[in-house]
Amino acid sequence: MLRSHDLVQDVRKYVFDHFLEYSVPPVAEQIMKRFHLGRPQALEVLQALETGRHVRLVPGTQRILMAWPFSAVATPFLVTRRNRRWYFANCAWDAVAFHAMLNEEIRITSQCHDCAETIALTLSNGRTIATPREPVVYLSLPASRWWEDIVNTCSNHMVFFRSRSHLDDWKRENSIDDGATLTIDQTHALSVPLYRDRTKLDYVRPSKEELTAHFQALGLTGPFWEL
């Protein structure tokens, strides 16, 4: 039997490998069979992964809903690789983060949060080709609140807009003044330490201090970016 930490790491890797291969997460029964676990042991491992912010389970179940950047359900954020495999991302940030995680060309198809018109992005070698030309990623919740309800955060508060003018119109119509607006390149840079090694067995999430230092290095300072 593997040591507990090793088992959790191995299951985490298996979850990500399964998403990469099939575009969906493994079910609990597959984890049980693959690692010779009883159901209580499998649930314990899944809960450990959730506590470590590697996955999010459907509340009250052993079913994986999210394994960032992967979504187990359909979203407005579709990512396609050159090998034609495709995945749903949880949010606009996660869609861009696929490029940091895979280190290969990806195509993103999404919609403007204001008008629902199509946004098409190609990210390759850290560079972006976009239609329309200057879409943005809008984060409406400050960093300290992201994990209060991560499903709500990803679903409703990390989105694409076709342009800053569309974002401005939407904010005016909804009486919203705050939030952070990022270019696609900024969003990719923001993703690197969190996602670069995520498919590796020995992946470790950056600490709060490391993330704060990364935000500051990108010029992302002030109360909005405080963890």
Q: Each residue of 27-37: b (16+ CB within 10 Å) or e?
A: ebeebbeebeb
Q: Last residue of a domain, which of 48, 67, 86?
A: 67
User: CATH code at 41?
Assistant: 1.10.10.10
Which of 125-129's residues contact partners 24+ apart within 8 Å by CB, and which partners? 126/99, 126/185, 126/188, 127/185, 128/184, 128/185, 128/188
**Number of independent structural domains in the chain:** 2
pLDDT single digits (tens) 99-146:
999 999 999 999 999 999 999 999 999 889 999 999 999 999 999 999
In this structure, is residue 144 part of a structural domain?
A: yes
In this structure, is residue 184 part of a structural domain?
A: yes
Do 107 and 212 fall within a single domain? yes
pLDDT single digits (tens) 40-74:
999 999 999 999 999 999 999 999 999 999 999 99
User: CATH code at 195?
Assistant: 3.30.450.410
Full residue range of the structural domain in which residue 58 is found: 4-67
- pLDDT for 5: 80
* Cis, bond preceding 25 (omega within 30 deg of 0): no
In this structure, is residue 24 part of a structural domain?
A: yes
**11, two tokens:** 């299951």
Q: Last residue of a domain, which of 47, 67, 87?
A: 67
- Asked if residue 64 lies in contact with residue 12, where contact means CB atoms within 8 angstroms, the answer is no
pTM (2 d.p.): 0.95
In this structure, is residue 93 part of a structural domain?
A: no
Q: What are the start-end ranges of the H helices in 36-159?
A: 39-51, 92-102, 150-156
In this structure, is residue 83 part of a structural domain?
A: no
Strand partners, 5: none
In this structure, is residue 138 part of a structural domain?
A: yes
- Asked if residue 120 lies in contact with residue 131, where contact means CB atoms within 8 angstroms, the answer is yes
- pLDDT for 3: 53
Residue 110's Cβ-count burial label (10 Å; 0-12, 13-18, 19+) is: buried
**177, two tokens:** 């003044």
Q: Please name which of 60, 33, 44 lies closest in space to residue 4, comparing C-alpha atoms.
A: 44
In this structure, is residue 81 part of a structural domain?
A: no
